[in-house]
Amino acid sequence: MLARRATQRLLEIRQAFRQIPQASRSFSTALNYHLDTPDNKPDLPWEFNDANKAKVTEILSHYPSNYKQSAVIPLLDLAQQQHGGWLPVSAMNAVAKVIEVAPIRVYEVATFYSMFNRAKVGKYHLLVCGTTPCMIRGSREIEDALLKHLGVKRNEVTKDGMFSVGEMECMGCCVNAPMITVADYSSGSEGYTYNYFEDVTPKRVVEIVEMLRRGEKPPRGTQNPMRRNCGPEGGNTTLLGEPKPPPCRDLDAC
């Protein structure tokens, strides 16, 4: 009796998840399992194109022949670039075949790293840093501005397929917080770029979106005209010359 109730409850939960629209599913972290859809199921054919087959060979050349599985991350990245920014299960199966491992070994990697998207993204995938320094500096307002301007929720794709907005953990430029990343899949793997836009404001991220929509290339890096790279506004105030060597040792003797 108890087992029957548990089975029935499990079926109800699975049915509830099947009713969730694909666009609202998290790209990689919330649902670490696969549900077949018309454009994402194992029996759909998928293979690397001719240009990327050469890249696959080059990637594999970096590893001993008996350690092909070490190439799983760069091969998944290449597959994602080719497939417009996301990884269908058939692409993961193709990678498993190349490196000669069971598909589950590839699924484990694709579901662990948030940089691998298992649902469709826009041609321009905008990632807002949500870690503490950026959050303190206004990343929530940055995300709200993007979502409101594009008329989507987090992890949804705009109706024209151009944009999607997600969150990413620390991007390593805390001194230039807040910041976003733009993964550009508009030209496939050949034209793929992944650029940081730092010191952004709600107004500036909207301007960046509109520049991308017009096919322009907004300047990457800091968006604060008073800063140069990671330096302070107005220029450096310290370290203006050659640093003095430490007095405790003779550098020339090293």
The full set of domain ranges for the chain reads: 39-112, 124-222
Output the pLDDT for position 41. 87
Binding-site annotation, residues for [2Fe-2S] cluster:
129, 134, 170, 174
**Continuous segment of H or E residues that includes residue 109:** helix 103-112
Tokens of 109: 């990697």
Output the pLDDT for position 190. 85
Contact between residue 183 and residue 127 where contact means Cβ atoms under 8 Å apart: yes
Binding-site annotation, residues:
129, 134, 170, 174
Architecture of the domain defined by 124-222: 3-Layer(aba) Sandwich (3.40)
Spatial distance between the Cα atoms of 96 and 149, rounded to a whole number of angstroms: 40
Which residues lie across from 105 on neighbouring strands? none
Output the pLDDT for position 1. 62
Spatial distance between the Cα atoms of 78 and 106, rounded to a whole number of angstroms: 14
DSSP class of residue 40 equals B
The predicted model gives 104-109 an average pLDDT of: 94
Question: pTM of the predicted model, to two decimals?
Answer: 0.78
Output the pLDDT for position 230. 84
Q: How far is CA 204 from CA 118, 158, 173, 197, in A?
A: 29, 20, 18, 10
Give the residue from 98, 42, 34 showing the smallest Cα distance to 72.
98
In this model, does residue 24 exceed pLDDT 60? Answer: no
Picking from 5-14, 43-52, 191-200, which range would have the lowest pLDDT averaged per residue?
Answer: 5-14
**Domain 39-112 - what CATH class?**
mainly alpha
**Residue given tokens 């029957």 in the structure block:** 4
In this model, does residue 23 exceed pLDDT 50? Answer: no
For the segment 227-240, what is each residue's pLDDT rounded down to a tens digit? 888 888 888 888 78
